[in-house]
Structure 1
């Protein structure tokens, strides 16, 4: 499992190759797809900070909570997070030093994640947005990875008349997965997350996740 601050949402908005997008039948579907395409372009150009304004308010709030918990010393800030958020915060501590975390905004971290290759060289090119269903101010698109349906959909919310990407369900799904794996391993969640992180190389000088 690759640690990255954006790993929980970049697959929702990744660029596609070899996948023909289905026709968008309604203006709303086209608007949702346009938001996806804007994020896709930003990611392909490694402009992670340009994706942040395309996220819902709750999504940005979640990412800021992860960043803020990673900035604070000790375990207490981490324990207040759900497992997927804790995984991201502990990963940030591992790959970024304290001074970097203090000065970097969420957008800065997004830029760093892309430039550092936290997502791997092919992740952006392997995903695509399939059919979109709009229901009121919410929409969901079938996320395709390697031309196969992913475990989670790409969710969108209309805020102020503009469609934005909602990553909260990705964190919820990730937390459920981590809770289940931790229970099966007989470890508490933080210990299980630390074990996952220990399998990855840490940046020299970064705080080791506990």
Structure 2
């Protein structure tokens, strides 16, 4: 649970070197898989910033919105975010101090996250990309975790002739999950997210949630 907020950033682009990829039948499928493999290599080598150029423009804008909201004090910036984005921004506030957030780019945060082991040592090695389906300028691959299908696919969009990873669906899925869990708990979304994050150990010197 301590690393759940970071999963919204990079879990869909983690892949294992230990799993054999299925055959790629078309040039488009091979190109999609190549983008995924490039992200996998960067993550394995703890080069988080190298993944950012492999993301869609909308994905980068979402990550920047999360980072920008985390940088700003108070609740107002957070209230403009969807639940999963709010969760991620509050998580960044919890584990990075104000001065760190002001100077760090999205790529810097990705580098820090990998070097700090926020995902844990086994998350990347437990994931792989299964069969890929291409339709026009969009593609979707079956994301596998421990050789089992994950709840959300790995999505891709062709931009400027190159296939890019689209992580907006994981934010949408995360938001729906948080909304559902909040409703089941009888709390509003903000209170539920506060409670979830307050169960995690805070980094010394980081801003508090309240």
TM-score range, shorter chain: over 0.9
Q: Which runs of 5+ in 2 are unaligned?
A: none
Give the TM-score, by structure 2 length.
Answer: 0.97
Q: In the alignment, which residue of structure 2 is the partner of 1:107? A: 107
Q: In the alignment, which residue of structure 1 is the partner of 2:144? A: 144
CA contact (8 A) 1:5 1:109 kept: no
Q: In the alignment, which residue of structure 1 is the partner of 2:180? A: 180
**What is the distance in 2 between the residues matched to 1:59 and 1:30?**
22
Alignment of 1:60-209 (within 5 A): 60-209=60-209
Task: Name the SS of the counterpart of 1:7 in structure 2.
Answer: helix
Offset, 1:8: 1.3
Q: 1:126 to 1:51 in 2, by over 3 A?
A: same
Q: In the alignment, which residue of structure 2 is the partner of 1:59? A: 59
**What is the distance in 2 between the residues matched to 1:203 and 1:124?**
24
Q: Which runs of 5+ in 1 are unaligned?
A: none
More helix by percentage: 2
**What is the distance in 1 between the residues matched to 2:43 and 2:4?**
14
Q: In the alignment, which residue of structure 1 is the partner of 2:33? A: 33
Offset, 1:149: 0.2
CA contact (8 A) 1:14 1:43 kept: yes
**What is the distance in 1 between the residues matched to 2:4 and 2:101?**
14
**What is the distance in 2 between the residues matched to 1:175 and 1:208?**
22
Task: Name the SS of the counterpart of 1:129 in structure 2.
Answer: strand
Give the TM-score, by structure 1 length.
Answer: 0.97
Task: Name the SS of the counterpart of 2:125 in structure 1.
Answer: coil
- Report the aligned-residue RMSD: 1.1
Task: Name the SS of the counterpart of 1:143 in structure 2.
Answer: strand
Aligned residues: 210
**What is the distance in 1 between the residues matched to 2:150 and 2:159?**
25
Offset, 1:19: 2.3
Q: In the alignment, which residue of structure 2 is the partner of 1:10? A: 10
Offset, 1:5: 5.6
Task: Name the SS of the counterpart of 2:7 in structure 1.
Answer: coil
